[in-house]
Amino acid sequence: MMDDLTVLMRKISRIIFFFLFLGCLGWAIWPEWEVYFGGFLIGTVGSILFTWQLAWKVIRIAEMAVGGRRGRGFGFLSRASLALLAAVISVRTLGYDPAATVAGLIMAPMATLVLGLSSIRRKRGGHRSDERGEKQ
């Protein structure tokens, strides 16, 4: 399972870095939209940070479960604090657009969702018409 998680995290990181590249490129091409691109970039950095923190926590809890110890949970408050910190820095401190910041904050969870759904579809290995459950 840990190998699957590291592969998934590598794919998510590549997707997020691609969107960070697009945000920097957009900011360079359209500097008058700095408010939107800046908010998106700060939100995306916050998104990848709390995704990395969640992956670390999952690995740690899995190691504790193998060792027979009980974990404390996945630490939602720490991830929420990272997201809130990114939002406060983006909106209050730097004056970027809140909607663009939120769009950046949901980038890593959306990438995880898309990659998860595509891996489920690939694991089935069947044809789409096989999903109807017809008897042979």
Phi-psi region of 125 (alpha: psi -120 to 50; beta: other; left: phi over 0): left
0.85 surpassed by pTM: no
| CA dist list (Å): 131 to 64, 83, 126 | 38, 39, 8
| Per-residue pLDDT tens listing for the chain (136 residues) | 567 888 889 999 999 999 999 999 999 999 999 999 999 999 999 999 999 999 998 888 888 888 888 767 777 898 899 999 999 999 999 999 999 999 999 999 999 999 988 887 776 655 555 455 555 5
Say if residues 106 and 50 touch (Cβ distance below 8 Å): no
